[in-house]
Every structure is written in C-alpha cells, then in structure tokens.
Structure 1
Amino acid sequence: MRKILVFILTLALLFAFTACQTQQPAAPAPIEQPAADTKIEITDLKGRKVTLVKIPERIVSLSPGNTEILYAVGAGDKVVGVTSFDDYPAEVKDVEKIGTFEGPNLELIQKADPDVVLAGGYIQEDLIASLEQLNIPVVSTEATDFNSIFDSIALIGKLSGNDQKAEEVVKGMKDKIAEIQDKVKGQTPKSVFYVVWTDPLTTAGSGTFINDVIKAAGGTNTAEKVAYWAKYSTEELIKDNPDYLLSSVFASNEGVTADFYKESPIFKNLDSVKNSRVYLMSDDNVISRPGPRIVQAIEEIAKVLHGDVIK
C-alpha cells in the first residue's frame, strides 16, 4: 500500500513539473499606437486653404451643383442640409432645407450641425464670412468654368473620403465627352447664341461653362467675344445672325416657348428663328448646374447641331 501511495505522489509531482515546464509566458500587452492624423488640408476653388479635423460626417450644401456632385461621388448619406432649389437626385427631396441659394438661413445651417459647409458662387461671400466666425468650416467648391467642374468633383471626393469614386465620375465624363467630340470632328461648326435671359437680353460669354459646352458639342458661341454672364445688345445679335438660338424654358419670369421667339420683334428677324432652328433645353438644370450632368447638355446640343452624326 505504501509503494502504491509513493508511486501516485511521484506521478503527481512529475505531472506538476511537466506542466510548469510547458506553460507559455503570457503575451505582452499590445503597445497602444497613437491615433492617426485624420486632418484634411485642402485648397478650395477660390484659393482658400481650409483644414478639416476629420472626414466630415455631416455636410451642408449651399448649391444644387454641389449637391449633385455629393450624391454622384457616393456621399449622399452625409448630406444634412440643402437649399430649396436642390431637386436632384430624387433622394434630396427628403433632406432638410436651409433656405434659398441666394439667401441661405444662418440659423438653419447652425441647427443642422455640419462638420463642413460647401459654398456656392461669389454671391455667398458674406455668408462664408459669417459661418467662419461661428467656427463652421466652409469650402468653396462650385465651379465657374468648364474645366473647374472636374476640379470641383475631385475636391468634393477628397473632403468626403470618396476620392476613388470621384476619379471614376471624372473619367466617365471625360470619356463620354471624347466620344461626342470624335463624332462631330470634321463637321462644320454651327454658330450658336444662348439666351440666358430675355429682358434684358443676357447670354453666356467666354469664361462660362455654357460657352465651353457649346464648343464641346461642335458649335461656336457668337457671344464668346463678351466675358462671363453678360448683357448683350439686340443690334449685335441681329448682326451675328447665329445658325441656332438655344434657350431654356426659364429665360423669363413667365417662361418662354419657341413661339415666343417667333413672335418677338427682336428675335423674329433672325435666320435661326425663321428657319425653326430654335431649341429649348429639355432640362435647364443640366446646362445651368456645374456638375456631372453637364455631359448630358453637351450630348443634347450636339444632337441638335449635328443630328446626322449623333443620334
């Protein structure tokens, strides 16, 4: 009995010794790494340097063009405030409205608690200053000419954390434009006058994206000799006598139709009107908003000017 007891104790000691030998030391606690710098430093389209402390999760857009870009690059879920003019894409109708493009409401913007506000054109300069006094970061992202539309998309993609999608959008636009221009290459350019407003007669001159849209579509803008959005004399228009007269329905407070131009004492003497070469854009927004849908405007105008090669 004693031998058995000694044997059992020996086995127990041997097992304990072996366990001690095979037991692995505890892994050291991981060293906590410092948080990565999430700051975003950008230069906006007005040349202002802006630093955001992080990729924004809540964005207020002060122009329809900015809003369309935000949705196009995949940042629509971050939009918490838009103007009453913003109507594309359809999802934007459910987003809180913070006033009009010309007169955004400062209190409503504050209430939306944005991480950043994307501003529109120079018309919003005073508002930008007021927002910055409230320590709300503001980035001017709305393009004023054709090429800066691509810059606007890239900028909004970067600040929203959607760089890759923004690159895809820009590439898709450029590929489509190249396709259209390849089709109209070799065609005789048609002269075009674009009516922005009927009274006073206002048009889009050099330095506007509408000017570049007309040229990309295989046309020449008879008003390129004036700069930006300019009033234009009826005498000069009659002397230009363009091949085509383009307009939108919203070229006057009452709205316009092709018959309006036929009956107008100013326009009815133009060859374009006499020969029924007056065209109203199917959607004014595709040509008046500097965003991804500008490509649709190029294709639409190209079909009007060169319908024999673009169907």
Structure 2
Amino acid sequence: MMNKIKKIAIITLTLILLLTFTSCQSRQSGYNDKETAKIEITDIKGKTVVLNKIPERIVSLSPTNTEIMFALGAGDKLVGVTSFCDYPEEAKKIDKIGDFDNPSIELIKKMNPDLVLAGGYIQEDLMAALEGLNIPVASTEAADVESIYDSIAMVGKLVGKETEAEEIINNIHKDIEEIENKVMGKERKKVFYLVWKDPLYTAGQGTYINEIIQIAGGQNVATEITGWGQYSFEELLKQNPDILIAAFHSTDEGMRKEDIMKDELFSKLPCIREGNIHVMSDDNIVSRPGPRVVEAIREMAKALHSDSF
C-alpha cells in the first residue's frame, strides 16, 4: 500500500514539473518570438520599413527623434545623434555624427547601426545613400501636431516600446484637450510670432508654430504667407497684433522683453507699448514636433490667456 502511494506521489510530482517546464518554455518561446519577429511599419513618407528584429544600435538624425527615443525609455539604444540633439541632458553624451543638415555617412557606418531614424525632406539624399549601404532607415519626424502621434507610435513599434508609446500619446491627447477647454470661448488674440528680428521673419500658415498658436487660443496675423517667410514692418503695423511672441534666439545675442520694448521700430506697435510681449522660454519646444508639444502649447496659452491658468 505504501509503495502504491509513493508511486502515485512520484507520478503527480513528475506531471507538475513537466507542466511547469512546458509553461516556462512557452513563455520563453513567446519572448524570443517577440525579439526575433519581423517588425513592419509605414513611415511618415509612406515607405514600408521592415526589420528582422528589435534594433539595439540606433542612430538618430534629428533632435525630435532623439527626444522621442528618450521619452519611450529607449535612449540607451542610441549610439549616434546629431550635434543639435541636446535634450534630455543624457543626449549630449552620445557620440555625434554631424549636424542635422549634413551628417557624416562615414561616421554613421562606423557605428554599425541596425536602424537609422531620419528627419525631414532635407535628408532624402542621405537616406538613399544609407539604404544603398543596406542600413535600414525610417523617416519618422512629424511636420504637424497630428502626425506627432504617428511619429511616436512608429518609433515605439520599431524599438519594442508600443505600450510606452501608447501611454505618451494618450497623455498628450489628454493634456491638449485640457488646455483647449481652458481657452474655449475666449477671444482669439491676434499674434505675431517673431522668428528673426533683422530682417523680420515669421511663421505663416502650414507651420508647426502656426498650429500651436491656434490650439493655444490665438490667431496668427501672418497667415497670408505660407511657411517661414520675411515680413514687412509696414504690414505688421497694419495688422496691429494684440501680442508679440518671440523666439529667444530671434537675434544672435538672444532676445529679451526689454530689448523689444526699447526697439525703435517695435515700439511703434500698441501691443509693445502696453507690454504685451512674451519671449519663449525654450525655442526648441516650438520647433521640434515631439513629446514636448504640450509644453509649447501650454506656455503659449498662458501668454495669451493668463486668466485661465
């Protein structure tokens, strides 16, 4: 009788161990499948990008892509970035491959990347050259607020951080909706955005800055021009904006509110004499369509509708 009980116990224990081993193997197999499964996306330019596995050595050709990588918690995969990639602080420590306009193909090759994240249309020739070297390239940089979500989702899928990407996207949606609700029903103040002081340059329709102004509850007075363009001071006087918002680096020395108020030409504007001026705290948040878009919209909205914040 005792031998029979021992035999049953041994068989039961064996079955438990076998099931446990099979379960572990199944989980391990699932993990490996995820690591080795093909990844496929359609990038910003409509090109299909296929990777055989999650990349571990990535080069970023734009500051926006670098910021997205760190926001996803994948900054440690970056082996090369541009000289303009300065956020977050850790990005400054990564090896540089040149500037945004003219990165070095030789330096990129030496880093042996299994993925390159490219920027805008200015980099098309470089992208073609890298693809000719059998280096996978994905164009993931957004041009407007809506495509920021696509950029984050694409990079998240490419680097195996889809859950993190979804969380970031949801938070951006939530924060923008909260700001829009605060400025809803408010009078849309007329805004002139100073990109460069001399000669006078601004951002017209079709620009990321124009979109931020609109979401923040403002009305860009320069929408008669498309893209980035020179603007006449006579037209600016005619438009008579309610507020002037300036990029800090709208001069080589950096712009201050006091500088604008003392300027011989700008002081002719009623909004300047009344002190309705805001200098952006960080030019990059209004020039990089990425995870910090909410910071740009919130700062702009506060400048336009301080009573709502």
Deviations 1:169-209 (A, max 9, x none): 01101101111111111111111111112233221222222
Shift of 1:261: 2.2
Alignment of 1:94-243 (within 5 A): 94-243=93-242
Shift of 1:146: 1.6
Equivalence for 1:65: 64
Shift of 1:230: 2.2
- RMSD (Å) for aligned C-alpha atoms: 2.4
Alignment of 1:41-52 (within 5 A): 41-52=40-51
Shift of 1:116: 0.8
- Aligned partner letter, 2:115: V
Shift of 1:154: 0.9
Structure 1: runs of 5 or more not aligned: 1-14
Equivalence for 2:25: none
Deviations 1:39-70 (A, max 9, x none): 22211111122222221111100111110011
1:87 counterpart = 2:86: yes
Q: Equivalents in 2 of 1:166, 1:224: separation in Å?
A: 33
Q: Equivalents in 2 of 1:76, 1:40: separation in Å?
A: 19
Equivalence for 2:286: 287
Q: How many residues align?
A: 287
8 Å Cα contact 1:146/1:208 also seen in 2 = no
Shift of 1:245: 0.6
Deviations 1:265-285 (A, max 9, x none): 432211221111111111111
Higher mean C-alpha deviation, range 264-273 or range 136-145: 264-273
Higher mean C-alpha deviation, range 200-209 or range 130-139: 200-209
Structure 2: runs of 5 or more not aligned: 23-28
Equivalence for 2:247: 248
Higher mean C-alpha deviation, range 265-274 or range 295-304: 265-274
Equivalence for 2:37: 38
Max radius of gyration: which structure?
1
8 Å Cα contact 1:209/1:290 also seen in 2 = yes
Q: TM-score, normalised by structure 1?
A: 0.86
Deviations 1:213-246 (A, max 9, x none): 1111111111223222222222222211111111
Q: Equivalents in 1 of 2:224, 2:161: separation in Å?
A: 39
- Aligned partner letter, 2:63: P
Equivalence for 1:296: 295
Q: TM-score, normalised by structure 2?
A: 0.86
Secondary structure class of the residue paired with 2:284: helix
Structure with greater helix share of residues: 2
- Aligned partner letter, 1:204: A
Shift of 1:260: 3.0
Q: Equivalents in 2 of 1:284, 1:150: separation in Å?
A: 21
Shift of 1:73: 1.2
Equivalence for 2:273: 274
Q: Equivalents in 1 of 2:251, 2:109: separation in Å?
A: 34
8 Å Cα contact 1:120/1:142 also seen in 2 = yes
